[in-house]
Structure 1
């Protein structure tokens, strides 16, 4: 007989020979206590000697139920603990951390997780990255002769890729990983290219190095060999060292020689030639000769900007420049260097014809007589200049000459042509309008009858010109682009008059009257003269299309003069004024 008591309640059970059992239930005053006692009484009845009617098979079923309840309870506790742990982690993220913070602060699941033998358990992704890279002890270098440089750690990207996968997945303790070092040749080639970029030495082609004025020939320099790193071999050496885990290897770069272009001298030709005719004025021609001598043999390197004023220098009497007719602020004066603008204008045409880029160009104050208006280039030391850039890949030379016997001024550019065979570039200028001339200039002449006027020179209106850049291929026009505009002043009429009521009785009286009147007229003209002559757009192709009006004549060397020969009288030019000469 056995008994079980809980909360003032007892039950007794008896097992009988017939296998039946009798069971006495007692109720407690409280319902909850009664329920618990009922379960306990049933369990006790199974062990009672008075439970003869409760079969043994029934007792076994109760034992299994208890075991199941215990197992379910244990699993429930484990599940609740796991959910609570995840909830704490989620609550931290929900508490305001950014996605970046979560990635950096997240750690690998409990248990050892190794990458190339490095246990990253408990580390952030950045800590794991540092630990793995430190384990490689990367000290790889590349070397050539006395040059040496560090090789960028090529394992870093591979480590980053692997860690991104690890920290983005649910891990199980005990997992191991290896950094994938396959297919690293492209990364190695990129690193080899960077190293080669710092060490490669390009071959230098020969070119014009000078000009012998005694022989009239240009001198050429020999080219130098180049040196390039064999990038493919260097990249493969990096990959081989990584495969062997030789992260501290010093790799010797192999090189290949690049021969210089020994035939560059054969490429040099006359790029363009332009010729104009001067006047019979001896002083002006001497100034042209001096400017030509300063210009002849000038070497312009690739990318260099040439300046006419800097090359010829100041045009002074100390250098031998002669006074020649020029305009200064609207007045005819004698200035040293008069006529030099014909040299700059001739050079300008040669530059354009060669396909080179002019960077500064100005029109004259008055229409030139030695080139087509719109195709001139005025210069004045300390003021307007003519400049161009050598936009070819080789040095070029300027060859200038002046023949006093036939008064021919010729400028040729010598270099490696930048225009294709059969391609020519020319300027085409068209007069687009006129500008009213200034007021007439009166000169008193007492020898004339009272109030008599005699015009000695007619007025000349100013003009506006538009210039196009025309490209020909095999003598056929293929393109036409607006180049620039130019404006030129007009010239006042010259009139003699006698504004007095008497006729001068002697030359002294007539001269005094003439000087007084001329001074007054010039002052009036200076205040009203148009100033539209020195502004011109830099010479670069534009867009408008216009009909050509002039075509340059050709010789066996290139274009020649395109305008009629100037008058034998001294040409009207501007030396050091706002325009030029």
Structure 2
């Protein structure tokens, strides 16, 4: 080949290369650049994955997911939850007698927990989820404790429930045995059902029967009179009728454990419409007639029965003037206008019911409390009172009484000084004092004595009569006020009811009557002033020995 040909060929080869290189470069760039872009695409997508929304309602198709062996692969959450609920359908019940009680499902919280974990951020790998058995067992134990409330009950002892006044018989409740569920055994049985897959098991509870401490027959033997007190009343018919009405309102009343008794609420407003009769009463220190006189003797007698039983009063009030049927400092005044007033109250602090008994016969008023003993054997409670102060009585009052023999005087009410008394609760055991504590204080007002006289000079034209000689015995039986028994409130004024009766001693008329001063009558009549002595009838506390109901 000549040089020209060689040159031409060389020049053609160069031109061919100049054309071929760009073509091959473009082809290579097209092929490998595309692959490069496709290779980088997942990386770019991954870089923006946190900001890109993803579907939480479905699982990736590839990973296999199971829960306790139940396949959830490819299911969205709703379908997965339905499938698990059907697979672990819960119908475990506790069967007792004729009752079938469903036990709370301890697996439901576990199903929810696992679904939250699966669908929280998607699932990219196969995994088998299982229940947390420790958490399941803890839920079963908690449910067993709550479930026990349906079975557990305390035994009920027999106790007094009523008293029939017509038959004179007491009625007692029927005893009831208690039950206690074995919580640990119930929890173990439920957990065993879970482990074995017995989600519809029927479980019999393990129960312990607790017998009562006191049966109905034992209650009839154990109930007794635990406190009683007796006082003597007057012969005043109206006063005694009032006492009987109060007795009827109280007798047979049952007080449950923890219940408070109110004398005023038990008797109600003591009015004429209810049959209460007028009886002597003090109103602003003046003796008047008011309905209900006498009921304070009932409250006072009950007060002593309360104390001797071992209970304590929550309200007790003293009279303005000390009554004669009980020692000063040991009375209990009541008054009621239908809404409020001084009351006698106490709470049955025993764990069983008690009954109040009241009886009035032959001028003897007895109040008793029937129940199970509050005090230990050999222990007794009483009241001791002592005077700690005195207020002098005011001057005696002279009253003209033309019915008396001319020139005579009669002491119808002795003067009584005021007094302050302090009372104590005395506890003895086998006759020896083991405790003495302050109980209450009582303050009584002084009361003026009352002397009746007849100083009217006889008509000079009338037939002369010889001056009456001093009588060796009472010339007549005067009308005298009786022992204070009640305080009534009328229009906001304090009234102390008494039982007036002929021949009956007033509260403090215990000694002989007195004669007026010499200057109270003309000098020429001093020798003709015989004293008329009122007859006296003593009333007061009697026996406190307990008796059977």
Give the TM-score band, short-chain normalised: 0.5 to 0.7
How has the CA–CA distance of structure 1 residues 573 and 344 changed in structure 2, closer, same or farther, with 3 Å as cutoff?
closer
How has the CA–CA distance of structure 1 residues 170 and 123 changed in structure 2, closer, same or farther, with 3 Å as cutoff?
closer
Name the structure 2 match of 1:522: none
Give the drift of 1:223. 2.1
Give the drift of 1:178. 1.0
Q: Is 2:528 aligned against 1:576?
A: no
Name the structure 1 match of 2:191: 239
Q: Distance in 1 between matches of 2:167 and 2:423?
A: 39
Name the structure 1 match of 2:133: 181
Give the drift of 1:441. 8.9
Q: Distance in 2 between matches of 1:219 and 1:86?
A: 84
Q: State which of 265, 283, 300 in structure 1 corresponds to 2:255.
A: 300
Name the structure 2 match of 1:337: 292
* SS of aligned partner of 2:226: strand
Q: How does 1:487-526 map to 2 (within 5 A)?
A: 488-491=444-447
Q: Is 2:202 aligned against 1:219?
A: no
- 8 Å contact kept, 2:300–2:333: yes
Q: Which moved further from structure 2: 304-313 or 331-340? A: 304-313
- 8 Å contact kept, 2:391–2:417: no
Name the structure 2 match of 1:413: 369
Q: Distance in 2 between matches of 1:129 and 1:440?
A: 101
Q: Is 2:88 aligned against 1:136?
A: yes
Q: Distance in 2 between matches of 1:435 and 1:395?
A: 44
Q: Distance in 1 between matches of 2:291 and 2:158?
A: 40
Q: Is 2:228 aligned against 1:273?
A: yes
The gaps in structure 2 that reach 5 residues or longer are 1-12, 15-20, 26-34, 403-410, 460-479, 498-549
CA deviations on 1:10-32 (whole Å, 9 max, x unpaired) are 9xxxxxxxxxxxxxxxxxxxxxx
Name the structure 2 match of 1:392: 350
* SS of aligned partner of 1:570: coil
Q: Distance in 2 between matches of 1:255 and 1:456?
A: 75
* SS of aligned partner of 1:348: helix
How has the CA–CA distance of structure 1 residues 121 and 394 changed in structure 2, closer, same or farther, with 3 Å as cutoff?
farther
Q: State which of 104, 109, 119 in structure 2 corresponds to 1:152.
A: 104
Give the drift of 1:345. 1.8
Q: How does 1:403-482 map to 2 (within 5 A)?
A: 404=362, 408-421=364-377, 458=415, 460-461=417-418, 463=420, 475=432, 477=434, 480=437
- 8 Å contact kept, 1:365–1:579: no
Q: Distance in 2 between matches of 1:308 and 1:459?
A: 29
Name the structure 1 match of 2:332: 376
CA deviations on 1:54-104 (whole Å, 9 max, x unpaired) are xxxxxxxxxxxxxxxx99x99999888666545789xxxxxxxxxxxxxxx
- 8 Å contact kept, 1:379–1:386: no
CA deviations on 1:442-490 (whole Å, 9 max, x unpaired) are 667699xxxxxx9986474475x6666666677554584x666655544
Q: Is 2:151 aligned against 1:208?
A: no
- 8 Å contact kept, 1:274–1:346: yes
Give the drift of 1:293. 4.6
The gaps in structure 1 that reach 5 residues or longer are 4-9, 11-39, 41-69, 90-104, 448-453, 508-567
Name the structure 1 match of 2:306: 351
Name the structure 1 match of 2:321: 366
- 8 Å contact kept, 2:172–2:220: no
TM-score under structure 1 length normalisation: 0.55
- 8 Å contact kept, 2:158–2:172: yes
Q: Distance in 2 between matches of 1:153 and 1:436?
A: 84
Q: Distance in 2 between matches of 1:139 and 1:158?
A: 16
Q: State which of 55, 63, 67 in structure 2 corresponds to 1:115.
A: 67
Q: Distance in 1 between matches of 2:80 and 2:422?
A: 73
Give the drift of 1:106. 9.4
How has the CA–CA distance of structure 1 residues 359 and 169 changed in structure 2, closer, same or farther, with 3 Å as cutoff?
farther
Q: How many pairs were matched up? A: 440
Name the structure 2 match of 1:18: none
- 8 Å contact kept, 2:278–2:289: yes
Q: Distance in 2 between matches of 1:339 and 1:569?
A: 12
Q: How does 1:94-105 map to 2 (within 5 A)?
A: none
